[in-house]
């Protein structure tokens, strides 16, 4: 079973399907999409199928740099991105919620940074995520 609720590689998710799958979290999805489009121009959106283990996700890219991947699941979604070590230090210095710092500390390290995947169910989950995304682009 794929991480995404959408696992059929031949069928890119439609807006109606996305809204149905996300349920109450669809307003948080829309809020984050608006935030990314507004804060990181120019931005390109692209639905991407990443294989049977991952399924479909919505990728946002600024030039060649991936800003965030949004992976829809039943009733929630994941926001994922890589966080470089300078951004990790800046995040520790910022006033981020403890649960976000725990996610950062437990994230697997790769050459391009730590791979973060944060679960989002409600709009209230977005404040720390948005702050972290801004920190990431400043360092």
Structure tokens at 114: 């730590």
Q: How far apart are CA 108 and CA 93, in angstroms?
A: 20
10 belongs to a structural domain: no
41 belongs to a structural domain: yes
68 belongs to a structural domain: yes
pLDDT, tens digit, 9 for 90 and up, residues 101-128: 999 999 999 998 999 999 999 999 999 9
6 belongs to a structural domain: no
CATH assignment at residue 21: 3.90.1150
- Average confidence (pLDDT) over 42-65: 95
The SS3 call for residue 56 is strand
Q: How far apart are CA 27 and CA 83, in angstroms?
A: 25
pLDDT of residue 82: 93
54 belongs to a structural domain: yes
Question: Model pTM?
Answer: 0.94
Residue 102 has phi, psi (to 5 degrees) of: -65, -40
4 belongs to a structural domain: no
How many domains does one find in the chain?
A: 1
pLDDT of residue 23: 98
9 belongs to a structural domain: no
79 belongs to a structural domain: yes
Percent of the chain with pLDDT over 70: 100
Range of the domain at 121: 15-138
DSSP of 52-114, one letter per residue? TTT-EEEEEEETTEEEEEEEEETTEEEEEEEE-HHHHHHHHHS---HHHHHHHHHSEEETTEE
First to last CA, the chain: 36
């Amino acid at each position: 079973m794929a991480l995404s609720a959408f696992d059929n590689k031949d069928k890119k998710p439609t807006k109606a399907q996305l809204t149905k799958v996300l349920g109450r979290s669809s307003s948080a999805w829309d809020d984050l999409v608006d935030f990314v489009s507004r804060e990181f121009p120019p931005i390109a959106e692209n639905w991407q199928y990443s294989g049977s283990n991952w399924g479909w996700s919505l990728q946002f890219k600024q030039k060649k740099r991936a800003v965030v991947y949004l992976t829809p699941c039943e009733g929630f979604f994941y926001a994922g991105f890589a966080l470089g070590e300078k951004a990790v230090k800046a995040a520790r210095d910022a006033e981020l919620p403890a649960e976000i710092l725990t996610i950062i500390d437990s994230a697997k390290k790769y050459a391009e940074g730590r791979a973060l995947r944060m679960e989002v169910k409600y709009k209230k989950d977005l404040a720390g995520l948005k702050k972290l995304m801004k920190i990431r682009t400043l360092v």
